[in-house]
Homo-oligomer: A and B are copies of this chain.
Amino acid sequence: MDPLSTLSSIFERFPGIGPRQAFRFVQFLLRHPAVRRELADALSRLGSSVHQCPQCRRFHAGAHALCNLCTNPVRDDTTLAIVAHDADVLALERSGTFRGRYFVLGGLISLSSERAPHLAFDELKRLQNEKRFAEIILAFPVNPEGDTTALKVREVLGELGVRLTMLGRGLSTGSELEYADPETLKTALENRR
């Protein structure tokens, strides 16, 4: 495959990028050798300076092995939120409610089983053994992959006697009954309070 097609096919694997936009990225890089060089440099720097926090498994570029959330002394050590992706940590932080610790599983169990990511179940079990959290929140998306992953985490952690919770389900901000799907209305009715 010629270099342009190779580069295009790599961009097609980026999240949300189709053939047409991948092609435009290649055209853009052809016209901008400086961006090309900066990108190559940034990739190389990324490889050498970014590392995974050995505790929460987030990627970060901090000076220490542990990330700034894991070393923060005022966070609540009794609660752990397990999430799929690094981006979910940022989303929960934005909501300004959760003050506990995090653990990034590295993805969700794939129901199509192709390109299944390695998920950090062993590391999770070890962490729970060390830390003995009082509550572990399974903070996964509301879809079949999220539910399957939650089931697996319960299985892995089940015997440890920790309280396992899931994020509340129901109507989200802005929801109108008329446009809500029946499953959401069902959980909204079940979780009424």
Contacts and interface: CB of A to CB of B under 8 A. Distances in A.
A159 B4 CA distance: 38
A91 B168 contact: no
- Residue of A21, A36, A167, A181 with most chain B CB atoms under a 10 A cut-off: A167
A180 interface: yes
B183 A3 contact: no
Nearest to A167: B188
Given A142-B174, A168-B190, A24 B15 contact: yes
Q: For this complex, into which size category does the number of interface residues on chain A fall?
A: 35 or more
B27 A85 contact: yes
25 contacts: A4-B59, A7-B39, A10-B42, A14-B28, A15-B24, A29-B43, A39-B43, A40-B43, A43-B43, A85-B178, A90-B178, A92-B177, A137-B192, A141-B171, A141-B174, A141-B175, A143-B174, A169-B170, A169-B191, A170-B172, A170-B191, A171-B172, A172-B175, A172-B180, A173-B187
